[in-house]
Structure 1
């Protein structure tokens, strides 16, 4: 199992190979981060092991000093991973993930491969379906940060 912890500054993140940059300001209605730029893909390399695997993510609370960004949501949209081999669909589409600003949600599967599947280098490219950050209008302004913890887990034994 591999674990990577990465900082998420409610306005900027670098996520285990998935870079996000965005800016947001609370307004009269729920606002969504704009100018989100994804600079890398989420990549899993399986050199031929027959065990299944999954990539999971979870976050802790988005905080700025003593304030928590309750009601905010980081959304990672559904994307279709590829390993460059025509017809290999052993790793299906990623799962849309909504991470709460208050944290406390357990690890959620993002990408999953069954036993004897998911071999090779799999890339989930978020550049065309950008992750978003939704912030409720009643939020106190601040530079909020959260840790996203990404885990690669052996999920199935053949």
Structure 2
């Protein structure tokens, strides 16, 4: 092999891998607002919680009710036994929920629940759904959430306002 093609391959592949990695990292943990019902499929209904309809709120489709739900919002974290980032995420989300009087954190283990992972299109853990007071998803986070973005989403969902201090 000539030197020029070897250099192109030797330098090109790592450069492409770096760009793909940076693009992946830029998306990881971002809070995405859910518009309509497209991000949480209707197929998640009766397969998970018998009797739930396709138009039922995500909370009902997950079998969450009563004390499991926050009056203002609920942070639903999908985790697995093998997720190294999930325990730390759970601690941060529980702490964040405690900052709000009306927000709860619920952790759902998907290790043996492939049906839930498929129904809610969970392709990585942690994945977090933000449910409003009505039990419907308002936002979704794939990966470790960016806490400032998640706080902004909770403020919007709960109607809470806070003054930001910029350094």
Question: Under TM normalisation by the shorter chain, which class is it?
Answer: under 0.3
Higher helix content, 1 or 2:
2
Larger radius of gyration: 2
Q: Which has the higher contact order (CA 8 A, sep 6+)?
A: 1
Higher normalized strand content (fraction of residues):
1
